[in-house]
Amino acid sequence: MPEPLIGLTTYLEPVARWGVWELPAALLPLGYPRLVQDCGALAALLPPDAPERAAAAVARLDGLLVAGGADVDPGLYGAERDVRTGPAATERDAWETALLRAALESGIPVLGICRGMQLLNVVLGGTLVQHVDGHAGPPGTAGVLGEHTVRPVPGTRYASIAPEECAVPTYHHQAVDRPAPGLVVSAHAADGTVEAVEVPGDPWVLGVQWHPEMGTDQRVMRALVAACTARTAGNRPPAPTPAPAAAAAPAHATAHARGALR
């Protein structure tokens, strides 16, 4: 069976440097595609594009991963901007919103990571807390991940993937406030912060607040790949039924047929 193709959203940066060049770039930390590849799928980057092209992009995918990054624009969930909220990523918000809607409509599996989980909640009608303390790296550091324990909610999809409490790599300052209608909270941090949300049943939709691409636990990604594989197999037309074996032909007839093929 072919490896599933999973689309990954990207950052859009005004300047990135490689070699002697400093140019605008659509990019993604290597941990994301490497995790997808290591878990048995193909990774395709989806840089911001016109929202009306999202459905065509999703139609070519077996799954969608919405990556972490900039804060979601609070205007999308009807809130005033907190002074601690980062600059708007307007093109990403519009493109990833359209991708999520198209993916949910088509039924392909979806995984949201950090910002991706928050945007999933907003797209479905939920809200965010614009600042929480204690979920980034060690105090006084920048660009260093923290770590804390998450507790699964029994009976949820996430609990079936990781049934025990476990430590996860984390770096964020925003979180789910009011979960969207239709989303179920499936994990919490010790302080009560929502750490995972999901759509129960079908389609397969999960959001996690932490960064599995920065750790060693592959269970969440392997579950996404398995869901993509199962859905792809279910959408394939059934294999043709083999024709009944023909009765053995007389030896003289077989010899005649072989002569005709020469």
Active site residues: 114, 211, 213
The CA distances from residue 50 to 6, 43, 54, 56, 67, in Å, are: 19, 21, 7, 11, 18
Separation of alpha carbons 192 and 129, rounded Å:
13
Nearest CA to 226 among 1, 39, 96, 34? 39
Distance of CA 158 to the CA centre of its chain: 14
Provide φ and ψ at 51, rounded to 5°: -55, -30
Separation of alpha carbons 96 and 57, rounded Å:
11
Per DSSP, the three-state class of 63 is strand
Q: Which two tokens stand for residue 236?
A: 């394939």
Per DSSP, the three-state class of 15 is strand
- Beta bridge partner(s), residue 123: none
86 neighbors 71 (Cβ within 8 angstroms): yes
For the chain, how far is it from start to end, CA to CA, in angstroms?
A: 36
